[in-house]
Amino acid sequence: MGVESAYRQAISDYLFDAVKKYVRGGGIGIVKGDSGEFTVERLGISPAAFTVQLLPYEPSFQAHFARPRLTLSNVSFTVSEREYDYLDVKTSRWFPSVDEAAAWLLSSLTQD
């Protein structure tokens, strides 16, 4: 694994850990897959879920959101301390920290 790949994987692991840290209460399941992918599900009367996949460039990700009446796929975002204008790859969203990205992802579970 190259330095760039190891860095992207580390950011992915930090993002997963941040999501786990901010999950509050029961009724939410978290499943970690292979190669920087994980899924978070809110169970119950109004289920919701998102899946995050690590992309092969920058510390960029793709998110897929699912709710009872809405599915939104291929929402790209980057987690990087570098300013957005200096990133090699432009994504839909940019976050300077994994904590901010985790909060944004988890907010999708509570928006009705």
Q: Which helix (H) or strand (E) holds 7?
A: helix 3-22
pLDDT of residue 98: 95
Task: Find the angle CA(65)-CA(67)-CA(69) to the nearest 5 degrees.
Answer: 125
- pTM (two decimals): 0.87
- How does pLDDT run across 26-44, given as a tens digit for each residue? 788 899 988 789 999 998 8
What order do you get walking across the sheet with 70-79 strand by strand? 28-32, 38-42, 48-54, 60-67, 70-79, 93-95
Mean residue pLDDT across the chain: 87
DSSP 14-26: HHHHHHHHH--SS
How far lies 66's CA from each of 8, 16, 57, 105, in Å?
25, 18, 25, 12
Q: What percent of the chain has pLDDT over 70?
A: 95
Domain boundaries, the chain: 3-87+101-110
**CA 35 – CA 16 distance, rounded (Å):** 12
pLDDT of residue 24: 72
- Which pair of structure tokens corresponds to residue 61? 């990700």
